[in-house]
Amino acid sequence: MTWRQALLLSCFSAVVLLSNAKQKIFMQESDASNFLKRRGKRSPKSRDEVNAENRQKLRADELRREYYEEQRNEFENFVEEQNDEQEERSREAVEQWRQWHYDGLYPSYLYNRHHI
């Protein structure tokens, strides 16, 4: 008999718990009908709807701003590297030209000659 009593007790407690949970999970019929009702196009939005839309717009703006800022930073870094490489190549070319045309005088002879 004890196992039957334990089974009956557990079933009864399950029924009691489900009936309490039903009240917490499900909303009342009037609230449910208002929840699913569509708002007309010309009727004003509720404050919650306006706030939710504004939060979505602000978040989208923030993400867009972060994206474009990251793109700009990457491009600026790329341009800076390109300029550095160009400057290095130019400096090396000038240095090679000076070594090739060096005449042993400093500054070179071309700049020391006297114009008559």
Residue 45 pLDDT level (bands cut at 50, 70, 90): confident
In a domain, 81, yes or no: yes
What's the pTM? 0.45
DSSP label of 43:
S
In a domain, 24, yes or no: no
**Amino acid at the residue 20:** N
In a domain, 62, yes or no: yes
Cis before 107? omega within 30: yes
Is the distance from CB of 103 to CB of 109 less than 8 angstroms?
yes
DSSP label of 41:
T
In a domain, 29, yes or no: no
DSSP string, 88-116: HHHHHHHHHHHHHT--SSSS-HHHHPPP-
In a domain, 89, yes or no: yes
In a domain, 115, yes or no: no
Residue 107 pLDDT level (bands cut at 50, 70, 90): low
Tens digit of each residue's pLDDT (9 = 90 or more) over 53-101: 999 999 999 999 999 999 999 999 999 999 999 999 999 998 888 888 7
Six-digit token string for 16: 């009691």
Residue 49 pLDDT level (bands cut at 50, 70, 90): confident
In a domain, 58, yes or no: yes
User: Can you give the pLDDT at residue 43?
Assistant: 80
User: Can you give the pLDDT at residue 83?
Assistant: 96
DSSP string, 23-75: HHHSPPHHHHHHHHPPPPTTSPPPHHHHHHHHHHHHHHHHHHHHHHHHHHHHH
In a domain, 72, yes or no: yes
Residue 8 pLDDT level (bands cut at 50, 70, 90): confident
What is residue 19's three-state secondary structure?
helix
Number of structural domains the chain divides into:
1
Domain of 68, in residue numbers = 50-101
User: Can you give the pLDDT at residue 68?
Assistant: 97
Q: Which residues contact 46 (CB under 8 A, 6 or more apart)?
A: 39
